[in-house]
């Protein structure tokens, strides 16, 4: 049995880690590779690091469909500071007779001599250094030095993948930039669902929302943020405003009865149409609450919240981004949604037309009349020259 141990803080795990694990497992013919989450690594102090249990859950999720690669929490179960020499020794005792390879990032090789008991580590495991592009010869010299000083074997892997870092993932989450090219899809969803690495303002609004709206609605809200940020980036809109508008777009989305009670209790006038279709109220009221309860003053953000249900003729780019993101976010599941998702990144107006037609059809099928404002927007979108009214182009 040949096993690999690949430790890291995984704050968060990204595609660079996963590709490295896959490659090294193949290169060294490892039967099993364990990615070990560091609980409290002595060499990488960082007060902003997420709780180890959360980092472990993210890692587990990201590795769900990987062959022969597993998330390990052995260091989390140990008290006090974690030392690699203890981890390696634990695997040696648990997997008697196995040949053990300890995989480390190239940046770790330089300070390996200062780790606790380097000779002890090299007695139990072979050290495998995985480089970043361009520094292979430097790594080989380092490897030679370590071997002559502590004995054992140090291997320099041939792999040098793209330069992805957890720091960059965290920066993008904070700055409202897409992370879909840096992390596994499952990780991306987890990051958004839990508002990880986001600014305090966003985290606290999410916490307040959690007290008002249902759990499923909160998940939809956070996934709308994810989609809105990506669409905003694609169309050159302000991604932070898109994230905020998405975060608050359903801030008062309650079951119809509760929504009517809310309006009655707060002296809010509603039209006959809204009385018949109370869900229409939540977008208009959402903009009011975004301002009064959550302190949003930006007219672009408020407008996007207020027209996300029925739309309006002449919607701004931000309005359209929120409208579409709401309907195609990753948890949405209706016939044809995948096609619309793909179209949304090529032609936002066409995607809008398709989702509007879809909801208009749904309204008609459930025996209700389509809202006149929605009909006007559909009519307007139909007049745009690049859109085939039948939806056959593209």
- Quick note: the x/- pattern for Fe ion over 191-220, rule CB under 5 A, is ------------------------------
- Measured distance CA(303)–CA(155) in Å, rounded: 58
- Span interacting with Fe ion, options 131-139, 189-197, 249-257, 380-388, rule CB under 5 A: 249-257
| 274 contributes a contact to Fe ion by CB under 5 A | no
- Whichever of 90 and 288 has its CB closer to Fe ion, that residue is 288
DSSP helix/strand/coil, 92: helix
- Span interacting with Fe ion, options 16-24, 74-82, 245-253, 290-298, rule CB under 5 A: 245-253
DSSP helix/strand/coil, 154: strand
Given the structure tokens 């006090």, which residue do they identify?
A: 80
- Whichever of 250 and 319 has its CB closer to Fe ion, that residue is 250
179, 142 contact by CB (below 8 A): no
Interface pick for Fe ion out of 250, 251, 287, 318 (rule CB under 5 A): 250
Please work out the total of residues on this chain that contact Fe ion, with binding judged by CB under 5 A: 2
307 Cβ contact partners less than 8 Å away, ≥ 6 residues apart: 283, 315, 319, 323
DSSP helix/strand/coil, 378: helix
| 75 contributes a contact to Fe ion by CB under 5 A | no
Give the shortest CB-243-to-Fe ion separation in angstroms: 14
- Span interacting with Fe ion, options 169-177, 310-318, 320-328, 334-342, rule CB under 5 A: 320-328
Give the shortest CB-329-to-Fe ion separation in angstroms: 8
Give the shortest CB-351-to-Fe ion separation in angstroms: 16
DSSP run (H or E) holding 55: helix 52-62
Of 298, 98, 111, 41, which is closest to residue 90 (Cα–Cα)?
A: 98
Of 141, 130, 123, which is closest to residue 17 (Cα–Cα)?
A: 130
The CA-CA-CA angle for residues 232, 236, 241, to 5°, reads 45
Give the shortest CB-220-to-Fe ion separation in angstroms: 6
Give the shortest CB-249-to-Fe ion separation in angstroms: 5
ω into residue 155 within 30 of 0, thus cis? Answer: no
Helix 256-265 / helix 281-292 crossing angle, nearest 10 deg: 50
- Span interacting with Fe ion, options 114-122, 325-333, 336-344, 361-369, rule CB under 5 A: 325-333
Give the shortest CB-322-to-Fe ion separation in angstroms: 9
Could you tell me which residues are beta bridge partners of residue 154? 127
Phi-psi region of 11 (alpha: psi -120 to 50; beta: other; left: phi over 0): beta
Interface pick for Fe ion out of 326, 344, 356, 387 (rule CB under 5 A): 326
- Span interacting with Fe ion, options 9-17, 153-161, 186-194, 242-250, rule CB under 5 A: 242-250
Give the shortest CB-61-to-Fe ion separation in angstroms: 24
Query: For binding to Fe ion (CB under 5 A), which residues are involved?
Result: 250, 326
């Amino acid at each position: 049995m040949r096993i690999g141990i690949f430790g890291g803080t995984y704050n968060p795990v990204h595609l660079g880690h996963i590709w490295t694990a896959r490659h090294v497992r193949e290169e060294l013919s490892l039967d099993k590779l364990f990615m070990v989450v560091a609980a409290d690594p002595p060499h990488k102090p960082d007060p902003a690091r997420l709780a180890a249990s959360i980092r472990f859950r993210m890692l587990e999720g990201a590795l769900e469909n990987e062959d022969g690669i597993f998330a390990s929490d052995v260091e989390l179960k140990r008290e006090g500071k974690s030392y690699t020499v203890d981890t390696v020794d634990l695997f040696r005792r648990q997997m008697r007779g196995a040949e053990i390879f300890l995989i480390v990032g190239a940046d770790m090789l330089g300070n390996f001599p200062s780790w606790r008991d380097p000779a002890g580590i090299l007695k139990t495991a072979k050290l495998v250094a995985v480089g970043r592009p361009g520094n292979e010869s430097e790594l080989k010299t380092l490897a030679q030095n370590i071997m002559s000083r502590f004995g054992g074997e140090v291997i320099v892997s041939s792999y040098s993948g793209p330069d992805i870092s957890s720091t960059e993932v965290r920066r993008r989450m904070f700055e409202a930039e897409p992370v879909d090219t840096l992390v596994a899809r499952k990780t991306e969803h987890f990051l958004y669902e839990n508002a990880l690495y986001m600014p305090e303002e966003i985290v606290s609004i999410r916490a307040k929302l959690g007290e008002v709206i249902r759990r499923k609605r909160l998940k939809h809200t956070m996934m709308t943020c994810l989609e809105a940020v990506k669409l905003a980036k694609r169309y050159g809109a302000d991604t932070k405003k898109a994230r905020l508008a998405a975060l608050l777009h359903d801030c008062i989305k309650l079951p119809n009865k509760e929504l009517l009670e809310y309006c009655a209790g707060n002296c809010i006038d509603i039209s006959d149409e809204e009385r018949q279709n109370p869900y229409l109220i939540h977008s208009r009221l959402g903009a009011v609450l975004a301002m009064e309860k959550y302190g949003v003053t930006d007219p672009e953000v408020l407008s996007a919240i207020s027209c996300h249900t029925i739309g309006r003729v002449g919607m701004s780019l931000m309005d359209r981004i929120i409208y579409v993101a709401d309907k195609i976010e990753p948890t949405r599941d209706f016939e044809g949604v995948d096609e619309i998702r793909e179209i949304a990144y090529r032609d936002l107006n066409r995607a809008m037309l398709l989702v509007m037609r879809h909801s208009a059809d749904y309204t008609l099928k459930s025996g209700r009349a389509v809202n006149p404002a929605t009909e006007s927007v559909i009519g307007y979108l139909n007049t745009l020259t690049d859109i085939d009214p039948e939806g056959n182009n593209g």
